[in-house]
Homo-oligomer: A and B are copies of this chain.
Amino acid sequence: MAGATRKVGKTGAANAITADLVAVLVAVTDGEPKIMTIANDGALPSGPFEFAHRSLQTGLRAWVEAQTGHPLGYVEQLYTFADRGRGGDAKSLHSISISYLGLTREDKVGKGFQAHWSGWYEYFPWEDQRAGLSASLAKTLASRLRAWAKSADTTALQRERWQRAAITFGLDERDWNEELVLQRYELLYEAGLIPEAARDRSTAAAVIPGRPMTGDHRRILATGIARLRAKIKYRPVVFELMPAEFTLLQLQRSVEALAGRLVHKQNFRRLIEQQQLVEETGAIAAETVGRPAKLFRFRHGVLAERAVAGTKLPLSRT
């Protein structure tokens, strides 16, 4: 982007590049969030960008449909990456990756495809705080982060590093913030605690648990998880991941799975009901232990009825 205010459309043909689409496809089964993976579960589904479709979104939809045999529910663009450092060689500079988040219900992948569903916490063990972290992981994380902080040159920098680690990982009595998925990943990368960092910088360091992925893919996945965790709080997107009928506990378990945290049962119900997001089907859940639960369905009407609100300003009425 040279220092000229050129008119739009006059793009220099010299700057030809290639574009890839990368997809974070999410489903939830039995209270576990899954993502679609390929290449022996070491990569996100991706492929070259083609111009056969009206838009990037429709192209992605068609492609996923061809892969899984059923339509994609909710789709949203995540981010476009073109960074050098991460990709590796200089050649990668001439390629950009446009990433998408897609929500669907898990389904059998068509025969002849190598795609699978993998639990997303395989790649981010520290993001699952539902039962608290395992004692060993918690200890490893804390000590490695502290070591990284201490390895800084000045005490000011040391304190700064530790503060960052403490904020993002909820250490030192701070609260855990489930939305900081990307910040945590970036920090671990910077601290050299994950295999991708060692690979890109050829520094061998002690890494922490969590499966790596090709190229930037784990970073893209982190972006997707973060986006989804933020989104479920103000848009009714969870329902894209649920079957047509479900109990409130199943709904709660799905939210907990995505957020990586447990929620208060009664308050969760009150929230859902007061927003009138669901309605009873009249049926009752079978095959349960304990008192059987009512089945609910999503009220599709809400999408049409109201512009499912964002957050608030202290508006004045005049």
Contacts and interface: CB of A to CB of B under 8 A. Distances in A.
A43 B8 CA distance: 8
A199 interface: no
Contacts of A96: 19, 98
Interface string A68-87: 00000000010110111100
A234 to B, nearest CB: 6
Contacts of A299: none
Contacts of A39: 5, 7-8
Given A55-B83, A93-B51, A98-B80, A310 B179 contact: yes
* Residue of A1, A4, A51, A80 most packed against chain B (CB within 10 A): A1
A250 B309 CA distance: 27
A256 to B, nearest CB: 9
Contacts of A265: 316
B314 A1 contact: no
Interface in A163-218: 163, 167-168, 177, 179-180, 183, 214-215, 217
Contact of A63 (B1, B11, B92, B305): B1
Interface of A: 1-13, 15-22, 38-39, 43-51, 54-56, 59-60, 62-63, 66-67, 77, 79-80, 82-85, 92-96, 98, 113-115, 160, 163, 167-168, 177, 179-180, 183, 214-215, 217, 230, 233-234, 255, 259, 261-265, 267-268, 270-271, 304-307, 309-316, 318
Contact of A50 (B2, B13, B95, B304): B2
What is the copy number of this chain in the assembly?
A: 2
Contacts of A62: 1
Contacts of A59: 1
Contacts of A84: 54-55
Closest 8 CB pairs of A and B: A267-B314, A3-B66, A16-B16, A264-B316, A5-B38, A11-B18, A55-B83, A1-B63
A80 B51 contact: no
Contacts of A44: 8
A71 to B, nearest CB: 15
A304 B48 contact: no
A156 to B, nearest CB: 12
A47 B2 contact: yes
Contacts of A115: 5
B313 A259 contact: yes
A56 B85 contact: no
B20 A263 contact: no
19 contacts: A1-B59, A2-B50, A3-B63, A5-B39, A5-B113, A8-B20, A11-B19, A11-B48, A15-B48, A54-B84, A55-B82, A163-B304, A177-B309, A230-B311, A233-B310, A263-B316, A264-B314, A267-B314, A268-B313
Contact of A311 (B48, B85, B114, B233): B233
Given A8-B22, A17-B18, A183-B307, 15 more contacts: A1-B48, A2-B50, A5-B39, A6-B46, A7-B214, A12-B48, A55-B83, A56-B80, A56-B83, A80-B98, A263-B316, A264-B315, A267-B314, A270-B314, A271-B314
